Amino acid sequence: MLNKSLPLKENSRERGSVIIFVAVGILLLLGIAAFALDFGHLHIVNNELQNASDTVALAGASALYPNTPPTEPNFPQAQTVATNAINLNKSDGTTLINCEVQTGYWDLTQNQPGLQPSLPVGVTLGGVWVPAVMGSVNRADGQNSGPMLTWFATIFGINSISARKEATAVVAFPGGVSENVLLPVAINKTVADQLWKKPEISFRIGSSYHYPDSQAGQWTSFLMDENNVPYVRDLIESGNPDPIKIGDQIWIQPGTENTLYENSKQWSINRRAGETVCLAIVDGELRDNTHAYMPVVGFITFHINFAVGGSQKYIDGYFDPGSNACAGGTGGGPNYGAALPPKLVR
């Protein structure tokens, strides 16, 4: 009798072991389901919140300079526009209504990391210090329909998961431009400093016109020493063949060829009348006898009214701050009104 009962006890132990393994397996499968579904859902929610914070930051940055010329950033307007942009976004199919917006200054080098409430002592706006807008979007208690509810993770005591994303956007000024952006005319820094905030004042760039005590501008063949008309004529049509950045030395040559100003049969400045173009600013006097490399110190937008050849040889126009003619460049330059489009930096 005793010997016959032994197999029954062994079978009971085996059934108990199977039940334990099945229970562990079910828990494992539920864990996998929680990870795959709940945390997959969280990944989607995080993407939605990141897109929303990107939208808020970029909308705010686009409103930093509502006026022309773009001198001081309008932080109150940027805050309002950024806050109103949140309802352009959804999470889990529900329109988002809450966001946090901060404005301040951003060091493009991030030697001072994060958003700063004010500029460092002795620092002026421009260069590596630019205005910024940071947008933060949460799904948490009392914000945007609350945290994300879970499905399978509740088994492990996780009923909801809060999520938060943020983004920072800046408006910088060009420290460099890509190829095919610049007209082959360099502007004098003295003139740029005096007139970039005064778009109502037209002036002349040309061989026979001096303003105020050195020429307003002169032809440039950019990085190449090319003192010939055909080369410069091609540049009027196509722009700089290579990227140009602050600190580069560009070649200055006098504008004595009247057909570069006005020519009905070939490319000339007058063919671009009515356009706003991007010019390099150089630090140096631009005279009729200038043949020299000069350093680029910034970039500026210039509207061409018309150009005259013959015995006069000049370009008539005005600085056009707020234009996007220098768009496509890299930030880090001084503010001469050629603000780049808003850009996410974090």
Report the distance separating Cα 91 and Cα 87, nearest Å. Answer: 10
CB neighbourhood size of 125 (10 A): 15
pLDDT reading at 284 higher than 90: no
55 and 84 together in one domain: yes
Total structural domains within the chain: 2
The verdict on 109 and 197 lying in the same domain is: no
Task: State what percent of residues in the chain have pLDDT above 90.
Answer: 62
pLDDT band of 158, cuts 50, 70, 90: confident
Cα–Cα distance measured from residue 202 to residue 191, given in angstroms and rounded to the nearest whole number: 12
The residue range of the domain holding 186 is 176-344
Q: Are residues 204 and 293 in the same domain?
A: yes
Please check whether residue 158 is in contact with residue 303, taking contact to mean a CB–CB distance below 8 angstroms.
no
Considering the domain architecture, whether residues 223 and 294 belong to the same structural domain is answered as yes
CA 268 to CA 265: how far, in whole Å? Answer: 9
- The answer on 185 and 295 residing in a single domain is yes
- Asked if residue 83 is part of any domain, the answer here is yes
d(CA 330, CA 111): 18
4 within domain boundaries: no
Choice among 158-162, 204-208, 315-319 with the minimum mean pLDDT: 204-208
DSSP string, 74-141: -HHHHHHHHHHGGGG-EETTEE----EEEEEEEETT-SS-S-BSSPPTTPPSBTTEEEEEEEEEEEBT
Any domain includes 2: no
* Predicted local confidence at residue 67, as pLDDT: 79
Domain boundary pick from 123, 154, 169: 169
Largest CA distance in the chain: 130
Q: What is the mean pLDDT of the chain?
A: 87
In a domain, 40, yes or no: yes
Pair 135, 272 in one domain? no
Kindly report the number of other CB atoms within 10 A of residue 115's CB atom: 19
> What is the distance between the alpha carbons of residues 254 and 190, in angstroms, rounded to a whole number?
18
User: Is 164 part of a structural domain of the chain?
Assistant: yes
**Amino acid (one-letter) located at 326:** C
The answer to whether position 7 is within a domain reads no
Residue ending a domain, among 123, 142, 169, is 169
189 plus 331 within the same structural domain: yes
Q: What's the pTM?
A: 0.83
Q: Is the pLDDT of residue 103 over 50?
A: yes
Per-residue model confidence (pLDDT) at position 249: 97
Examine the domain organization and report whether 129 and 201 are in the same domain. no
Q: Please report the pLDDT score of residue 198 as a whole number.
A: 92
> What's the residue count for the chain?
346
Considering the domain architecture, whether residues 159 and 181 belong to the same structural domain is answered as no
Residue that finishes a domain, picked among 169, 192, 213? 169
Across the range 204-217, mean pLDDT stands at 62
- Report, as an integer, the average pLDDT of 263-288: 90
Per-residue pLDDT band for 30 (boundaries 50, 70, 90) equals low
Q: Which long-range contacts (CB under 8 A, 24 or more apart) does 140-145 make?
A: 140/164, 143/98, 144/91, 144/94, 144/96, 144/97, 144/98, 145/91, 145/92, 145/94
Q: Domain check: are 238 and 128 in the same one?
A: no
Residue 11 belongs to a domain: no
- Burial class for 86, CB neighbours closer than 10 Å (0-12, 13-18, 19+): buried
Q: 206 lies in a domain?
A: yes
Is 122 found in the same domain as 227? no
- Dump pLDDT digits (tens) for 48-95: 999 999 999 999 999 999 877 888 899 999 999 999 999 999 999 999
Q: If you search the block for the tokens 């110190």, which residue do you land on?
A: 297
| Same structural domain, 70 and 214 | no
Cβ distance 115 to 96 under 8 Å?
no
Q: Is residue 169 over pLDDT 90?
A: yes
